[in-house]
Amino acid sequence: MKDGDTVAMGGFGIVGIPENGVLAMVKKKLRNINIVSNIAGLADWGIGLLLKDRQVVMMNASYVGENPTFEKQYLTGQISLNMIPQGTLAERCRMGNAGIPAAYVKAGVGTYVETGGFPMRLGADGKSMVEVSRPREIRNFEGKDYLLEEAIRADFTMIKAFQGDKYGNLRFRKTARNFNPDMAGNARVTMAEVEELVDEIPAEKIHVPGCFVDRVYKSPHVSKKMERLRFRDAPSGTTDKKKAKAPGKEENKDNRRFRIAARATQELKEGMYCNLGIGIPVLVASAVIGKLEVELQSENGLVGMGPYPYKGKEDCDVINAGKEVITEAIGCSHNRSSDAFGMMRGQHLHKTMLGSLQVSETGDIANWIIPGQKVKGMGGAMDLVSCGSEVIVVMEHVGPGGSAKILPECTIPLTGKGVCSRVITDMV
């Protein structure tokens, strides 16, 4: 690698990231690196280490909400941000390794992604715009608008696998698969960091064949860090690190959030496939226990999501969209990111539940950025709200300080226009 290279990195949160490869980049003191990654890491781990050392000039990502270092650098004009819907990011990386130059997608129609003008780089004052995103070409198919998105090709791709063999074949473990298979082969050089180096992986267990991989190296140190730990206290208990306090005059926040999730389970029917977004929606996996047999999908590549684990039963490679350690329900499956979003685009899900910062009276949703204040990123939300399943917003009724979240019109950038069919809050 050299200064100015574009480097694509697999992983979701800190699961499946090539952490030792990142450490080597830090040590080499590379500069002006253009990163392609779903997320910007943590302040003290993964890509966050490159950001802390000011080695990155641009982030191409879908979600950056857990890294205050990156948020500060962006809001003060120190780094550029190319924000990409998560499903589009996965597909653009997959197209890069499959020789497909471009494709039309639904995610982002009616938002900054379509119109352009998103401030990719701000001035030092945090208000002026030095660089803005470009508009997308639009084409109508069967009465619906789609945006043209081009394939991503990098100079180097760094991915992480559970096993690699001398033929370059790779095998991934559970939700650590995520973006890794989609990024393999989309660069001049693909390097795979593996936890175990074996002579041969059984053919039926290979997830990426060696023809997509140029280098394989064994991790000198395997991290088992867990970004967010949350436990079930007891079979009939609450679902948090600490036992929730009984509601008094003012209801405990955890109880309130769980009550909202419990109400949301009434929207589900036996045998449904439902995506759960980050925040309150992920609590539905715990609230639905013993009520219905449903298949809960998580955008990071898990179908058949269970509740939080009991303490001591957690698995660092099984997480939900909120990067929380979760359990696997009977019959669950693990998928790469492009397949996870293919389930959405192909209308294989019945319902989608997600949180929001604002919802308008006409069903517009805004949940990914507060300009000049907070940069979370759209994650998979733009894909989810455009996929054709019923979209239900599950959120607290008011924001910080009692600010209204249900408005005549959204006052911050939209995630989707006219897409919400129902809002469930604590006013039930």
Tokens of 389: 């399943």
Task: Flag whether pLDDT at 239 surpasses 70.
Answer: no
Task: Flag whether pLDDT at 243 surpasses 80.
Answer: no
Summarised one tens digit per residue, pLDDT across range 298-311 is: 999 999 999 999 99
What's the confidence (pLDDT) of residue 3? 98
Q: Which residues are within 8 A (CB) of 403 and not within 5 positions of it... i.e. 6 or more apart?
A: none
Task: Flag whether pLDDT at 372 surpasses 90.
Answer: no
Residues in the chain: 428
* Residues that are catalytic: 299
Average pLDDT over residues 351-368: 96
Domains of the chain: 6-218 (3.40.1080.10), 253-424 (3.40.1080.10)
Q: Which residues are within 8 A (CB) of 44 and not within 5 positions of it... i.e. 6 or more apart?
A: 52
DSSP secondary structure, 263-306, as one string: HHGGG--TT-EEEE-SSGGGGHHHHTTTT---EEEETTTEEEE-
Considering only the C-alpha atoms of the chain, give the largest distance between any 2 of them, rounded to a whole number of Å. Answer: 64
What's the confidence (pLDDT) of residue 246? 40
Average pLDDT over residues 197-208: 97
What's the confidence (pLDDT) of residue 226? 93
CA distances from 181 to 107, 203, 316 (A): 22, 16, 19
- State the pLDDT confidence band at 46, using cuts at 50, 70 and 90: very high
